[in-house]
Amino acid sequence: MVLGSDVMVYLLALLPAVIWGFTPVLDKRGMSLDGTALQAALVVVVVDLSLFLVALLALRGSDVLAGLDPATAGLFLFAGATGTALGRLAIFVGVDRVGASINSAVVSARPLFATVFAFGLLGEPISLSTAVGIVVLVAGLVVLSLAKGGDLAGWESRDLFYPLASGALFAFGNVLRRFGLGTGGADVLQAVALNEAGALVVFLTYAAIRGTRGFQSADRRSYGYFAASGALTAVALLSLFGALALPAGRVAIVESLASTAPLFTTVFAYFLLRDLERVTRGVVAGAVLVAVGVALVTLGPGVAA
């Protein structure tokens, strides 16, 4: 029988899937207006961090870090600097190179990485259905790589490195977040704000080194698309962290449900990005295989492999 806490985990993990299925459409539109990966990453993190700080100030007053354990705070900052910052840069480059639909589907290989990281670092069990689901998921990625869809300008197989790297980084970050939330040293809003603060430090450092020339050349409308993406990302992150904070919020399950995003991206891209992307039958088939793999990972967590 599915318990109430399990249902809540599923709902909280599925909301980011829908949101992250739509945000690549916004990101692709911004990129098509000469936006850059760094510009997109900075705008998104500034917007969502601002929303989190406003919420913390409204709920806690000026003492937004009250009751926060310093070691736990450092863990969330590190997770943001690695899993979020580097992963988000990679995902924006992927959207630009291979297109929203292909990028979203490949990033969804993150349950593969999440399961390995969670098993090695947290001791979470790997069920038989999880193992089978991972195989199906990988098969879906292979189909996607041969689908000849995505960005109309074309792309090379090596460009899949960026969404794959993003998936691995996001998965690693979620393992760290699950561990941090499990210690009880921070609430969800503090955790997500610290995560984004860590990412902002990395983005600002990178901008200081690389320069912001691309920011001036980008069409001003691109900022609107990236800002909207940031606002939606804030909602998705709160929901994801909320799922991970629940007792039933195992990393493999949360990651798998959140990784159904490519199904939503495929639909959104088909209707909203026809002038920029090609959604082929292969893209649809690959996205469906990824979703089936995700379902298999989710359905049988209690059966040991």
Whole-number average pLDDT of the chain: 83
C-alpha span between 156 and 118 (Å, rounded):
31
Task: Say what the pLDDT of residue 302 is.
Answer: 44
Task: Say what the pLDDT of residue 1 is.
Answer: 41
Which of 103, 117, 133, 101 lies closest to 280, judged by CA? 101
pLDDT over 50 (residue 201): yes
Residues 6+ apart with CB under 8 A from 27: 40, 92, 95, 100, 225, 226, 229
Q: What is the pLDDT of residues 3-38, one digit of tens each?
A: 566 788 889 989 998 999 899 999 999 999 999 889
Residue 235 covered by a domain: yes
Residue 291 covered by a domain: no
Residue 301 covered by a domain: no
Q: How confident is the model at residue 298 (pLDDT cuts 50, 70, 90)?
A: low
Q: Which residue has the higher pLDDT, 123 or 85?
A: 85
Residue 145 covered by a domain: no
For 255, the token pair is: 């990651």
> Are the C-beta atoms of 297 and 129 separated by less than 8 Å?
yes
Residue count (the chain): 305
Which residue range is the domain that position 208 belongs to? 4-125+154-277
Domain tally, the chain: 1
Neighbours of 82 (CB within 10 A): 18
> Are the C-beta atoms of 163 and 265 separated by less than 8 Å?
no
Residue 179 covered by a domain: yes
Residue 137 covered by a domain: no
Residue 300 covered by a domain: no
For 166, the token pair is: 């993003």
Q: Is 154 left (phi over 0), alpha (psi -120 to 50) or beta?
A: left
pTM above 0.75, yes or no: yes
C-alpha span between 232 and 264 (Å, rounded):
15
Task: Say what the pLDDT of residue 304 is.
Answer: 36
Residue 147 covered by a domain: no
Give percent above pLDDT 90 in the chain.
28
